[in-house]
Structure 1
Amino acid sequence: MYQPKHYKKDDIQFAHQLIKENPFGEFVLMGDHLLATHIPILIDSFSTKFRLYSHIANHNPQYEYLKEGTEALLIFKGADAYISSSWYREKDISTWDYSAVHINCKIKLQTEKELRESLKNLVHHFEKKQDSPLEYDEIPNHIIESHISQITGFWCEPQSVKGIGKWHQKSDKKDIENIIGKLQKDACPHTSLIKNLKDEHGL
């Protein structure tokens, strides 16, 4: 990760918060070439040390390289936005504000028991926010069993954690106020997703 000094955010608390708010990350492994999968990756809240967990499908090309001790890279991205130089009081270069965390980690494969517990925790993490939650144990058993045989769970044990928060740290207050005002006029962040769904399904 490229980290200019004034944007560097390597403290664990920054990483925890960004991952908590943006758990859908990129899981990168080296196979015969670089391989990446977009998956939910959560922090293990039951561990006394910082570690994360996830799973991939066994037919995923990464599965062949998912071995005990393998090095992986986890990438988490926070909110980002193009910042137009027309928003500044004086002409300057346009840029992009963003935040991200990169975690280099070692893989530890889960047992089937650990995988089942991880899936329960994963589902609960997201279902608890729903109006009518459907917990993992409420899913029909035959579906659970057919699913378990087709996936592999793993722990991610961090070796290094690097973060960046580029938020116009060197700008003056008036420019910051202008930037915030312009960003507040933007549409809901889900607007493009809704459009994609409609386009894909002819709605």
Structure 2
Amino acid sequence: MYQPKNYIKDDPEFIFKFIQNHPFATMVSKLKNFVATHVPVLTEGDALNFKLYAHIANHNEQLKALQDGAEVLLIFSGAQGYVSSSWYAEKDISTWDYSAVHVNARIKLQTPQELESSLKKLVNTFENRQKSPLFYHEIPQQMLLDHLPLITGFWAEPFKIQGVAKLHQGYKKEDVKSSIHHLEKGDAQQKLLAREIKKENAL
């Protein structure tokens, strides 16, 4: 990961919360060529000692790379967007603000029992946010029995973790405030970025 000094975010609490807040990751593996899959990834443990877990479809080409001990790169992306220098008090160069966490991890395939337990946690984690949730145990049993043989679950045990958050640190306060103001007028992604910039710069 490219980590300019001013934007390094390797604090364990930041990393852990970032992954939990942005669980939809890009998982990269090496076959003959690089392959990638976009998957929801959850944490187990705490900020100082955690592992990740997810699953992919068995007909996914990337499954060939997911063997015990194999390395994957998991990329978690946060709010991002273009920041125009036309929003500054004086002429300057425009930029792109963003945040991300990269996790290099070793794969350990799950047992069928671990897979089912992981699926329960996955479904329940996101169904808890719904107005009328449908929890794992409420899904028709035969549907689950038909589905489970079609997917493979795995643990991802981190051995290298890096974080970055380029959120207008070090810019003039009036320019940061102006950028926030303009981003707040934009789409959902820009509004989220505005909140992140405001939080990072304690505004």
Residue 157 of structure 1: aligned partner = 157
Amino acid of the structure 2 residue aligned with 1:184: E
Instruction: State the match for 1:135 in structure 2.
Output: 135
Q: Which amino acid aligns with 1:10?
A: D
The total of aligned residue pairs comes to 190
Q: Which residue of 2 is the match for residue 112 of structure 1?
A: 112
For the residue of structure 2 that corresponds to 1:68, the secondary structure is coil
In structure 2, the residue matched to 1:61 is 61
Aligned to 1:173: 173
Q: Which runs of 5+ in 2 are unaligned?
A: 191-203
- Residue aligned with 1:130, SS: coil
Aligned to 1:75: 75
Structure 1 vs Structure 2 CA RMSD = 1.6
2:96 aligned partner, one-letter code: W
- Deviation of 1:169 after TM superposition, in Å, equals 0.9
* Matches of 1:47 and 1:173, distance apart in 2: 32
Q: Secondary structure at the match of 2:101?
A: strand
Inter-partner Cα distance in structure 1 for 2:14 and 2:154: 23
Distance 2:179 2:189 in 1: 17
Cα distance in 2 for residues equivalent to 1:96 and 1:30? 29
* Paired letter, 1:119: L
Structure 1 residue 47, shift from structure 2 partner: 10
Mapped pair 1:32 → 2:41: no
Q: Please give the secondary structure, in 1, of the residue aligned with 2:102.
A: strand
- Over 3 Å counting, the alpha-carbon distance change for 1:61 and 1:174 in structure 2 is same
The structural deviation recorded for 1:28 is 0.8
Aligned to 1:148: 148
CA pair 138-45 structure 1, distance change in 2 beyond 3 A: farther
Partner in structure 2 of residue 200 of structure 1:
none
Residues in 2 aligned to 1:46 and 1:74: alpha-carbon distance in whole angstroms: 18
- SS of 1:125's equivalent in the other structure is helix
The equivalent of 2:49 in structure 1 is 49
Query: TM-score, with normalisation over the residues of structure 1?
Result: 0.90
| CA displacement at 1:137 relative to structure 2 | 1.0
* Cα distance, 1:127 vs structure 2: 0.1
Distance 1:117 1:129 in 2: 19
Q: Does structure 2 conserve the Cα–Cα contact (< 8 Å) formed by 1:12 and 1:161?
A: no
- The answer as to 2:61 corresponding to 1:86 is no
Q: Which protein is richer in strand relative to its size?
A: 2
Moved over 6 A (4+): none
**Matches of 1:46 and 1:102 in 2, distance apart?**
17
**TM-score normalized with structure 2 length:** 0.90
Aligned equivalents of 1:113 and 1:3: distance in 2? 39
Structure 2 Cα separation of the partners of residues 57 and 186 of structure 1:
36
> How far apart are residue 144 of structure 1 and its match?
0.3
Percent of aligned pairs with the same amino acid: 51
Unpaired stretches in structure 1, ≥5 consecutive residues: 191-203
